[in-house]
Amino acid sequence: YPASCWKWHYEHGLVIKAISEVGAASGENRFHGIDQEWIDHFVNEKGEICTYRVSEFNLDQVNPGKLLFPLYHRTGDGRYAAALKLLRSQLRDQPRTPSGGFWHKQIYPHQMWLDGLYMAGPFYAEFAVTFNEPAIFDDLIHQFMLIEQHARDPQTGLLYHAWDEARAQQWANPGTGCSPHFWGRAIGWYVMALVDVLDFLPSEQPHFAKLIDILNHLAHAMTRFQDPASGLWYQIVNFPNRPGNYRESSVSAMLAYGFAKAVRKGWLAPEYLSAAQRAYHGLLENMIRVDARGALTLEGTCSVAGLGGNPYRDGAYEYYIKEPVATNDFKGVGSFILAALEMDRALESNI
């Protein structure tokens, strides 16, 4: 992963955060400073972020900003504070749906995607604590409750990938505004967002318990669709036997991480640690390959999936299953590392 390949991009932010957490957990010098080296590649002396544009109003571009918080706390360097406040300014002006939900991007009007809760939510929560802006919490809780209210399917309890409040998109159900399918990784992003935001949300905050309830209901719904043979989840969660569907690595790693962390924090019952462990072992047995040099490869990650755009993505089943499947994709690798760290913590604490 040479510097020439670095990008201010959500999946790069995810994998660098995961590596830095390995360093914090292990104390190994080889991981020390990777977060600062990466951030300093982009952030100049004025706190400006190379390649980042507020005017794009792209929630994906907020996620790497989480790496700034530990650097600011360690060094007190004003340029890190300036960069954090620059990203905060995007969320202050982010276009919103009539109900107050963040548009996923400027180019996706009136649409909330589950992905966006992870891309902006944990950053937003940590900013509230770091810069003493508690009013953020009400807005942040509203984002989670709003998308859950509209994207949740009453029959399965699963969440659709996205919701178009304007009901203007070809992919949007004319009645509900929801996209057609339950995409595994979108739900994985949402679960990770919940458990990472809850780290910062004061327990006395109104609706704190509501987020715990949302997490529990979604965990219950997802475990019903966990593959009993492998412990993994499918690309389209509720159609395991439909032709073309496949067991997908990133959702399995994300849920392993989210469930295990939530059990450790007391937000989910201990039984969900078993679901997390089954998923993690399923990844080890089915998706990890070791080459002749001893290097690991993670297989089975959907490279990308979205809605709308040009060429237009209609959210049909055939669309999701035909997107390329990648090896060592950062969305899978970063989530897998975070899941592995939670597995270690579970062993250490004898949960």
81/136 same-domain check: no
Helix (H, G, I), strand (E, B) or coil at 182: coil
Indicate which residues carry an active-site annotation: 115
Verify that 63 and 77 share a domain, yes or no.
yes
Last residue of a domain, one of 94, 117, 149: 94
Residue after which a domain boundary falls, among 94, 122, 155: 94
* Dist CA 105 CA 318 (whole Å): 24
Domain final position from 94, 114, 142: 94
Give the model's pLDDT for residue 2: 85
The answer to whether residues 1 and 65 belong to one domain is yes
Q: Would you say residue 222 has pLDDT above 80? A: yes
Residues 233 and 320 in one domain: yes
> What's the whole-number mean pLDDT along residues 67-78?
97
pLDDT tens digits, one per residue of 320-345: 999 999 999 999 999 999 999 999 99
* Domain at 340, CATH number: 1.50.10.10
Q: Are residues 223 and 341 in the same domain?
A: yes
Report, as an integer, the average pLDDT of 222-251: 98
- ∠ CA 222-344-195 to the nearest 5 degrees? 40
For the four alpha carbons of 262, 264, 267 and 270, in that order, the dihedral sign comes to positive
Q: Are residues 79 and 188 in the same domain?
A: no
Q: Which domain holds residue 90?
A: 1-94
d(CA 132, CA 135): 9
Are both 89 and 139 inside the same structural domain?
Answer: no
Q: Which of 341, 155, 154 is nearest to 264 (CA)?
A: 341
d(CA 9, CA 329): 13
Nearest to 273 by CA among 199, 347, 191: 347
Q: How confident is the model at residue 351 (pLDDT cuts 50, 70, 90)?
A: low
Same domain, 87 and 168: no
Q: Do 170 and 314 belong together in one domain? A: yes
Rounded to an integer, the average pLDDT of 73-100 is 98
Alpha helices (H) in 77-134, listed in sequence order: 78-93, 114-130
Structure tokens at 317: 């089943």
Q: Examine the domain organization and report whether 268 and 320 are in the same domain.
A: yes
> 27 and 118 in one domain?
no
Find the largest Cα–Cα distance for the chain: 56
- Tokens 């760290």, residue located: 341
3 pLDDT tier (thresholds 50, 70, 90): confident
255 — pLDDT class (breaks 50, 70, 90) = very high
Q: Cβ–Cβ contacts within 10 Å for residue 53, how many?
A: 12
Mark whether 223 and 309 lie in a shared domain: yes
The count of other CB atoms within 10 Å of the CB of residue 228 is 7
Report the domain count for the chain.
2
Provide the 3-class DSSP secondary structure of residue 90: helix
3-class SS of residue 302: strand
Which whole-number Å values give the CA distances from 96 to 19, 102, 143, 168, 179, in the listed order? Answer: 33, 5, 10, 15, 19
Cis peptide before 311 (omega within 30 of 0): yes
